[in-house]
Structure 1
Amino acid sequence: MPSELYHGTDPGVLETILQEGLRSMSRQYVHLSETVEEARTVGQRHASEPVVLAVDTQTMIRDGYRIDKRGEGTFTVEGVPAKYLERLTGSVER
């Protein structure tokens, strides 16, 4: 399991996410990507210039959360509390 995974989203919902965390909304799970580029591509389904969030998966797992690998570079989780999220700026690669 990578120590970080990524989620691309619409900048219009960023403040809510940073306060409430990532929730599955109408889907069963929150989808996370293994790379910043993939998260940005997925986020472009919702906004032309998505924001990419880094998810501290290492700490989430240590704290008892379950993150499942669902395919090549795709992971799912029931939700991500805000304390595990960090906004990436520009074209930051990790």
Structure 2
Amino acid sequence: MDIISKLYEQHASGNAKVGVDLEAGETGEDVCKDVSAMNIWDLYVNKFFALKYAVDAACTVLRVDQTIMAKPAGGLTREQPAGMDED
């Protein structure tokens, strides 16, 4: 929570190129650094498509679950009395 709040503080002050340096650790060193100076470039397009495909996967799982739950369970049907075969 401390790292995220520091990152939000940096972005709110106008430093849009600040990111989190995970190798610095939580203690001692400053974990929020200028990522352009470190030659780290994370594209918005990568994040967009990752989120898009995650939502598509979740929707597919929910659709399959809805299809499975909509089908009646096996067992006797109402037209056929219990204990009677079709023969």
TMscore range, shorter length: under 0.3
TM-score, with structure 2 as normaliser: 0.24
TM-score, with structure 1 as normaliser: 0.23
Based on CA coordinates, which of the two structures has the bigger radius of gyration? 2
Structure with more of its chain in helix, by fraction = 2
